[in-house]
A and B are shown apart, each in its own frame.
Chain A
Amino acid sequence: MTRSTNTFDTLELKNVGRSFGGQNALVDLNLTVRAGEFIALLGPSGCGKSTALNCLAGLLPLTHGEILIDGKRIDVLPSEKRDFGMVFQNYALFPHLSVEKNIAFGLQMRNLPRPEIARRVAEGLALVKLQEQAKKLPGQLSGGQQQRVAIARAVVLEPRLVLMDEPLSNLDAKLRLEMRTEIRRLHQSLGLTTIYVTHDQEEALSLADRLVVLREGRVQQVGTPEQLHDNPANWHVADFMGYRNIVDLEVESVVGDLARVSGRGISIMATLAQPAAVGDTVRVAIRPSDLVVAGPDTPPGRDTVQATVNVVEYQGREFAVEVTTTQGQNLFVHAYTALVPGSTVQLTVDPSRALVYRTSLDGVDAPRELSAVR
């Protein structure tokens, strides 16, 4: 399949917002998407991901802001004129049309000549490997096959933008991994600009060129997978990015961007991801894999945490361990040897891998909020 001819250079979302009867579902979404990019919208349930996608697709009118393609407003165009392909969370396949007719639907709407429709439908079927099922009705397909029909239906049009709303959420774990690879492969071979909604951080990290993390309708951070993975902007993003240990501690001293934080049986050196002063209560985020179980002969020192092993779970290559500090704080640790529940261990952490955040999430982008109201 050839690369779409009607691409654009940039898609710009400016202060895009949507509220439902006074309730804000999406606030101030600012984003510039370059052609060919794969963007993931990531966030917990109810954070406004589908709202954002539906606003882009034109299925929901905006209440604030504008959407521009190469400087031209498109948020005033009706959905059917935007030339965006959308893959719905529930697939939304037409139940009365066969697989090939589902895929042909968009092409027919464009009044393309019959031979071209037939050719492109065949290409689409081959792309998602569904040639055998071409004559079946959607109800006769498995979930994964339906999923692939939905993707084929959206991409045969070679739309200038593909929107996907949690397309893999209804699939089982194995199929989800397969389809994830499939989507990545499709994106690489077709080069279609894609915006992908998910609540699964792993999926987002593995697929996207850039991620947008949302919380309660507000953007928390935009960045590459590496940026988000290594330097989350606030504790909420950190929480989402797999920093399972989020502990409220107090700052004892600050030297440069390092601080000693302590409390709850813990006293460690950590990196200030957000500014903090001595005496502040801060939120410290550490990944389970960054908490290292020290050897048994390590002397208990100032930077080690003493804890008792609670639960040990075997996870293939490693053990997921839950420990409790002397003052009752639960921590999650990855260990490479089987620890004995009830035994005492010493934990250490590289100061650069323990990140210090303010406890409050608000106030970071407060000034911009005021200007959003039209």
Chain B
Amino acid sequence: MMTSATNTGSRARGSASLKHRLAERGVDTKLLLLVPAIVFALLLFVYPFAYGIGLTFQPLAATQEQWGGGLFANYVAFFRDAFIFDSVWITLRLALPAALFNVLVSIPIAFKLRSKFRGKRMLQTLLVLPITLGTVLTAQGLLIFAGRQGWLNRFLLENGIIDQPLQLVNNYLGVMLSLIISGFPFAYLLISSYLSGIDPSLEAAAKTLGANWKQRFRRITLPLLAPGLATTFILTFVLAFSVFPSARLVGDASGETRVLALMAYRAFSEQLDYSMASTIAIMMGVVELIVIAFVFLGRSFLYKGSTGGKG
């Protein structure tokens, strides 16, 4: 049809109108621009993903023997083996509070940094800097600063403020700190950009209508910001949920911070059980999806349209 340039008038009209009708539905040659993205997605995501799912249905003989369930032995093991399944709660216990904290703390800071003041740039840079560090460097820093022999403990001990070093790392707290240090900048950046998308004249209007700052926040800003908060929460949650290096470096890898990523890694590298490792990885995705589904469910009750902003 497209190559019918030398055809009769009526055919040409016919093809033109088909082209037009397709274009109205968003089908036109611009779609070709998507080809590289689709190829990449297929190669780097869909294929390994499908392969991974395939692996989960090829359990080791030992797993089958121990847990039964035939092809589904890995999944049976995942749910029945308390050692593995507890790890779901361990991970959630880290990721949910960390994500919540990052979002909640970012809100007032993003608010405060909306107005202009001296040293704002400086402060912003400091807040966002940890993004550039990476988790390993953050963990290293935490160990040096807050470890048993770290600066903080030495300072406190030498000044007689404490007589036993504080246990701040190699436990739940250490991983939590690292998740906050690396997750907060993301949350802050996202929330402040959502916030700047809200037209400031809306708040001015609420002001002239007699709303004090609490009412303005609750009735205007928060509802408009809520979808952005949900997105931010999901992103920081996903980041925290797949925590691996810090769980190992500043956590308690065999106890309090035995997160799913670690379990998958162990199955893979220590037990050489690729199929179990894949199962844990897939189940990580499932748990994340469940949490995301809850957040979206909550979000769907909220206003979703534009925020009246110019940006």
Which residues of A are at the interface with B, using a C-beta cutoff of 8 A? 57-59, 78-86, 88, 90, 92-96, 105-106, 109-110, 137, 139, 153-154, 157, 163
A-B contacts, CB under 8 A, total: 76
How far does the alpha carbon of A139 sit from the alpha carbon of B224 in the complex, in Å? 14
Do residues A80 and B207 form an inter-chain contact, with CB atoms below 8 A? yes
Contacts of A154 in B (CB 8 A): 208-209
How far does the alpha carbon of A85 sit from the alpha carbon of B204 in the complex, in Å? 11
Which of B205, B212, B224, B305 is A92 in contact with, Cβ under 8 Å? B205
Contacts of A86 in B (CB 8 A): 204-205, 208
How far does the alpha carbon of A106 sit from the alpha carbon of B205 in the complex, in Å? 10
How far does the alpha carbon of A95 sit from the alpha carbon of B199 in the complex, in Å? 10
How far does the alpha carbon of A304 sit from the alpha carbon of B207 in the complex, in Å? 60
Do residues A79 and B201 form an inter-chain contact, with CB atoms below 8 A? no
Nearest CB in chain B: distance from A13 CB, A: 18
Do residues A95 and B303 form an inter-chain contact, with CB atoms below 8 A? yes
Do residues B305 and A79 form an inter-chain contact, with CB atoms below 8 A? no
Q: B177 near A: Cβ within 8 Å? A: no
Convert B93-111 into 0s and 1s, putting 1 for each residue whose CB lies closer than 8 angstroms to a CB of A. 0000000000000000000
With A88-B201, A93-B205, A95-B202 already in contact, 20 other A-B pairs whose C-beta atoms are closer than 8 Å: A58-B207, A59-B207, A59-B208, A79-B208, A80-B209, A82-B208, A85-B208, A86-B205, A88-B204, A92-B205, A94-B206, A94-B220, A95-B307, A95-B308, A96-B303, A105-B211, A109-B215, A137-B305, A154-B208, A163-B208
Contacts of B207 in A (CB 8 A): 58-59, 78-80
How far does the alpha carbon of A153 sit from the alpha carbon of B215 in the complex, in Å? 17
Do residues A109 and B208 form an inter-chain contact, with CB atoms below 8 A? no
Nearest CB in chain B: distance from A165 CB, A: 10
Nearest CB in chain A: distance from B207 CB, A: 4
Contacts of B219 in A (CB 8 A): 105
Q: B306 near A: Cβ within 8 Å? A: yes
Which of A80, A90, A96, A137 is B211 in contact with, Cβ under 8 Å? A80
Do residues A105 and B208 form an inter-chain contact, with CB atoms below 8 A? no
The 6 closest A-B pairs by CB, nearest first: A96-B303, A106-B209, A92-B205, A92-B201, A109-B210, A86-B208
Chain A residue with minimal CB distance to B307?
A: A95
**15 A-B residue contacts at CB 8 Å?**
A58-B207, A59-B208, A79-B204, A80-B208, A81-B210, A88-B201, A88-B204, A92-B202, A95-B306, A105-B209, A105-B219, A109-B209, A110-B210, A137-B305, A153-B205
Contacts of B223 in A (CB 8 A): 96
Chain A residue with minimal CB distance to B224?
A: A96
Do residues A80 and B210 form an inter-chain contact, with CB atoms below 8 A? yes
Contacts of A106 in B (CB 8 A): 209-210
Contacts of A110 in B (CB 8 A): 210
Contacts of A153 in B (CB 8 A): 205, 209
How far does the alpha carbon of A66 sit from the alpha carbon of B211 in the complex, in Å? 24
Nearest CB in chain B: distance from A4 CB, A: 14
Contacts of A78 in B (CB 8 A): 207
Which of A78, A80, A83 is packed against the most chain B CB atoms within 10 Å?
Answer: A80
Chain A residue with minimal CB distance to B201?
A: A92
Chain A residue with minimal CB distance to B306?
A: A95
Contacts of A82 in B (CB 8 A): 208
How far does the alpha carbon of A163 sit from the alpha carbon of B207 in the complex, in Å? 14
Convert B155-199 into 0s and 1s, putting 1 for each residue whose CB lies closer than 8 angstroms to a CB of A. 000000000000000000000000000000000000000000001
Do residues A157 and B199 form an inter-chain contact, with CB atoms below 8 A? no
Do residues A95 and B224 form an inter-chain contact, with CB atoms below 8 A? yes
Chain A residue with minimal CB distance to B310?
A: A90
Nearest CB in chain B: distance from A181 CB, A: 25
Do residues A157 and B209 form an inter-chain contact, with CB atoms below 8 A? yes
Known interface pairs A105-B219, A139-B306; A92-B210 also in contact (CB < 8 Å): no
